[in-house]
Amino acid sequence: MQQIWVIGASSGIGLSVAQAYADQGHNVLVSARNEQKLNDICDKNDHLHAVPLDATDAASIQQAQQKVKTITGHLDKVIINAGTAEYVDLLPVDVDLVRRVFEINFFGAINMINASLPFLYDAVTGGQKPQLVIVSSSVSYQALTRAHAYGASKAAIRYFTECLKADVQHQGIDVRVVSPGFVKTPLTDKNDFEMPFVITSEDAAKRIVKGLDGSRFDIHFPKRFTLLLKLFSFLPHRLKFWLLGKMSRFEPQGENS
């Protein structure tokens, strides 16, 4: 039985992943800001344990670390999934919007990496090879319209994760990145645009669990979408930006506008 911590697990992909591991008999700690929602989730499954936290608040993270210690002495797997999305529709760019998105998607993820490392190192000391899993996004393969803040934050955490992989792999920690396409969640339900090849969070969880059992660093899905994005990124710039321009909602601006 593994000791697993899923951060960002009150709904969507995180919840489905936590439930999938709990159904396998693993001990799963679930974290999010909504303590009542976590308690409701855990009341339905004895393998789930609520560890409420705000990934952007130092005091909250410290309290969560203390609670983790009361449940387990080490962690075999940490999945950092907490995230948000806001889209840019106007210029000049709303800097506060960008800061909000980066605060959780990038800095929040780094906070949780730091918070979980002591537990992962304890697993290494115990002879295990723990996994540290960071959820990025397939949007980091190719810039898309309106995704200035969200895409940049996910590209930043991907780059950070690759650096982390290079630096800690010799220490016995298996670092992975997950790059989902469109997954039906409460967050994507707010999107006001068509989402091609959208899949359920349960389907996404199955792909993540299977991928983490394998050896691939980047677990991306659904491949019919992610491979299209990768191919699109190789188009000549002139053609690529012409096509992207067709998708843009930005209106032409006059000199005096």
Q: Which tens digit of pLDDT belongs to each residue from 84-126?
A: 999 998 888 999 999 999 999 999 999 999 999 999 999 999 9
Domain membership of residue 32 (yes or no) is yes
Pair 134, 177: CB distance under 8 Å: yes
Predicted confidence at residue 250, as pLDDT, reads 76
Domain membership of residue 223 (yes or no) is yes
Residue 254 has pLDDT above 70, yes or no: no
Predicted confidence at residue 150, as pLDDT, reads 96
Domain membership of residue 254 (yes or no) is no
Place 30 in a pLDDT band, splitting at 50, 70 and 90: very high
* pLDDT tens figures, 171-207: 999 999 999 999 998 888 888 888 899 999 999 999 9
Distances (CA, A) of 231 to 23, 41, 225: 37, 40, 10
Domain membership of residue 242 (yes or no) is yes
Q: At what angle do helices 148-168 and 109-125 cross, to 10 degrees?
A: 20
Predicted confidence at residue 252, as pLDDT, reads 58
| Residue 175: both structure tokens together | 């670092």
Domain membership of residue 174 (yes or no) is yes
Least Cα distance to 48 among 77, 15, 8, 76 occurs for 15
Q: Which domain holds residue 40?
A: 3-247
| Per-residue H/E/C for the chain | CCEEEEECCCCHHHHHHHHHHHHCCCEEEEECCCHHHHHHHHCCCCCEEECCCCCCCHHHHHHHHHHHHHHCCCCCEEEECCCCCCCCCCCCCCHHHHHHHHHHHHHHHHHHHHHHHHHHHHHHHCCCCCEEEEECCHHHHCCCCCCHHHHHHHHHHHHHHHHHHHHHHHHCCEEEEEEECCEECCCHHHCCCCCCCCEEHHHHHHHHHHHHHCCCCEEEECHHHHHHHHHHHCCCHHHHHHHHHHHCCCCCCCCCC
Residue type, 246: K
Domain membership of residue 192 (yes or no) is yes
Domain membership of residue 252 (yes or no) is no
Predicted confidence at residue 256, as pLDDT, reads 46
Give the CATH number for residue 45. 3.40.50.720
End-to-end CA distance of the chain: 62
Predicted confidence at residue 255, as pLDDT, reads 47
d(CA 133, CA 219): 10
* pLDDT tens figures, 54-81: 999 999 999 999 999 999 989 999 999 9
* pLDDT tens figures, 143-174: 999 999 999 999 999 999 999 999 999 999 99
Q: At what angle do helices 223-233 and 237-247 cross, to 10 degrees?
A: 130
Query: What's the domain count of the chain?
Result: 1
Domain membership of residue 34 (yes or no) is yes
